[in-house]
Structure 1
Amino acid sequence: MTLKLTGLVPATHTPFTDSGEVNLAVIETQAEHLLRDGIRAVFIAGTTGESHSLTLAERLAITERWLAVTRGTPMQVIVHVGGNSLGDAKTLAAHAQTTGAAAIAALAPSYFKPKSVADLLLWTTPIAAAAPAIPFYFYDIPPLTGVNLPMPDYLEQAAERIPNLAGVKFSNPDLLAYQRCLHLSGGRLDMPWGIDEYLLSALAVGGSGGVGSSYNFAAPLFHRLLAAFGQGDWATARAEQWKAAQWIETLIRFGYMPSARRIMERLGVPVGAPRLPFQSLSADQAKGLDAALEQLGVWSWR
């Protein structure tokens, strides 16, 4: 089963109220903002969506809301269903299929970790089987899960075990492994790139799009990067990638998650502060971030 996530796929924030509750009402504003920015697919309840800080009930409600507000629009919804509970992941997967998601994805459990590709297959196969009618992506992000297994080996074995396998959301800087994955099965599998500040590198070796957090607020910049790459204009593509890298590096310096959420607030999308263990920016930090972004000129980059 194939699906090609070409272009930009924002990994969306989960909106929270001032008291820390999920704010479902804001999801419509998120979708409208992204549609205006030329986005046609979203990846919900993943890392940027703070999935590990959400209850099962919250994740089910978030999926239902995204599918409701995007119904009748050109936007596809890919639901991240992974976590540390296999039962919860299967419930989320089946629910995503029932509610009309375009695909599901699941990262590896990060507390009791699979130690081998065989272990990972035992974990992901029943998740994919819970939503057999829609594509399944494994979400590889070793820096956060602590699971660093060879994705080419996983894909070769998963192709025989998971009929609805679509590919891997590749949030792993190993470009050699990425290239090997791209060339498996004659390029049939989909390999959306997951590190925004290296997007051009992935395109250069054969990638066709990415799933990332910064596409929530910097989509116009990345659209220009994609267009320049498609036209063979490497100078412009590199210049846009460098702008993106500086923007992302600045957010990391002040704390990426709360800083990215502050940018969304400034763009009129009130996603609120992150959940603990993330903390909101202090007044001084927010002032420093705003000054740094103004100095870079990021608002003109949009």
Structure 2
Amino acid sequence: MTIQQLQGLIAAPFTPMHKDGSLNLSLIPSYYEMLKVNRVNGAFICGSTGEGVSLTLKEKKAVAEAWAACTKSDNDFIVMPLLGGTCLADCKELALHAREIGLNAVSFTAPFYFKPANVEMLAQCCQEVASVVPDMPFYYYHIPVLTGVDFPMYDLLKAINGRIPNFAGIKYTHEDFMDFLSCIHFQNGKYDMLWGRDENMLPALSLGAKAAVGSTFNYAAPLYYNLIDAFNSGDLTKAQSLQQQSIDMIRLLGKYGGIATGKAYMKLIGLDCGEFRLPVKNMSADNFELFKKEVGQLEFSNFCSRNPVAANTI
């Protein structure tokens, strides 16, 4: 199996919900079209942004099937589900389902209740799940701020190298640039290292990152492509300014409650994905009006993603 290293921006989509908290799968084709218009190269579904840990096994399959249906004829758009991490049997079932419906790759994160005691145990978990889909690229999702599993990924690559043939790389959502660079250089760049911290894209580019997976690419993809272009052309002053715009936008996530604020940004580009499920706190109507004013002060309309099927509300 040839593993193709990914390029550019890959969005981590929100899972659309109705007002009653049920899945709104009918929105996914429009979601996909919006990402394509904004040059996004793929979707990392059912991850942190997609509330994968709050979805049932049946719901995860339904979301995957909806994305598979609308992207099946698009060979240039990658769809990769996060399988989970806590129940390995469920992860294996979801991996087999992803292969059955024609998705491009799968991803797995560390068990975060009964945590692996060391890197070798984490490698065994990866091997067990990856082995059921030996013909699919398998990525590990490193997000220690949520899993509490914080082994150096360089050590994981050493542990899995040569024993998991379909291990493609790592979605790296952490700030350890020393470890990230060592992973990029491991075995002369053998593994695909996908950057996962949107607010730190510029330093990741300077280390050699070629692809990134992020939630803010859903609603601000043009900003990041402009940042990448500025970096590639050697205009570091412009690249730094654009990264600061990203940081200013992301700061509002924290100010207005965290991850659910991302769905408020989606409303502003005309794609209402509903609310997050408990225990995530959603934004009140009053706070949404305050949020809109602050977003306007950022001149968000100058760099936000364009939605071809609905008018932006900013």
Q: Give TM class, smaller chain.
A: over 0.9
Q: Which residue of 2 aligns with 1:68?
A: 69
* TM-score normalised by structure 1 residue count: 0.98
The correspondence of residues 195-214 of structure 1 with structure 2, limited to 5 A, is 195-214=197-216
Shift of 1:279: 2.4
Shift of 1:116: 0.3
Q: Which residue of 2 aligns with 1:46?
A: 47
What one-letter code is carried by the residue in structure 2 that aligns with 1:262?
A
Q: Given the alignment of the two structures, is residue 170 of structure 1 paired with residue 178 of structure 2, yes or no?
A: no
Q: Given the alignment of the two structures, is residue 24 of structure 1 paired with residue 17 of structure 2, yes or no?
A: no
- Check whether the contact 1:251–1:289 (CA below 8 A) recurs between aligned residues: no
- Check whether the contact 2:72–2:102 (CA below 8 A) recurs between aligned residues: no
Q: Which residue of 2 aligns with 1:194?
A: 196
Q: Which residue of 1 aligns with 2:248?
A: 246
What SS does the aligned partner of 1:192 have?
A: strand
- Check whether the contact 2:257–2:282 (CA below 8 A) recurs between aligned residues: no
- Check whether the contact 2:11–2:217 (CA below 8 A) recurs between aligned residues: yes
Shift of 1:298: 1.3
Task: Return 5+ residue gaps in structure 1 as ranges.
Answer: none
Shift of 1:3: 2.6
Q: Given the alignment of the two structures, is residue 292 of structure 1 paired with residue 291 of structure 2, yes or no?
A: no
Q: Which residue of 2 aligns with 1:9?
A: 10
Of residues 96, 99, 103, the one that matches 1:97 is 99
What SS does the aligned partner of 1:139 have?
A: strand
Q: Which residue of 2 aligns with 1:108?
A: 110
Instruction: Give me the whole-angstrom Cα distance separating, in 2, the residues matched to 1:297 and 1:75.
Output: 29
Shift of 1:301: 2.2
Whichever structure has more helix as a proportion of its residues is 1
Instruction: Give me the whole-angstrom Cα distance separating, in 2, the residues matched to 1:102 and 1:53.
Output: 23
RMSD: 1.0
- Check whether the contact 2:137–2:168 (CA below 8 A) recurs between aligned residues: yes
Deviations 1:90-146 (A, max 9, x none): 001111112111111111111111120011011111111121111111000000000
Shift of 1:66: 0.3
Identity fraction in percent: 38
What SS does the aligned partner of 1:247 have?
A: helix
Instruction: Give me the whole-angstrom Cα distance separating, in 2, the residues matched to 1:270 and 1:68.
Output: 21
The correspondence of residues 210-229 of structure 1 with structure 2, limited to 5 A, is 210-229=212-231
Farther off after superposition, 170-179 or 127-136: 127-136
What SS does the aligned partner of 1:210 have?
A: strand
What SS does the aligned partner of 2:79 have?
A: strand
Q: Given the alignment of the two structures, is residue 120 of structure 1 paired with residue 134 of structure 2, yes or no?
A: no
Farther off after superposition, 195-204 or 229-238: 229-238
* TM-score normalised by structure 2 residue count: 0.94
Shift of 1:2: 2.2
Task: Return 5+ residue gaps in structure 2 as ranges.
Answer: 305-314
Shift of 1:156: 1.3
Q: Which residue of 1 aligns with 2:274?
A: 272
- Check whether the contact 2:46–2:82 (CA below 8 A) recurs between aligned residues: yes
Of residues 153, 161, 169, the one that matches 1:151 is 153
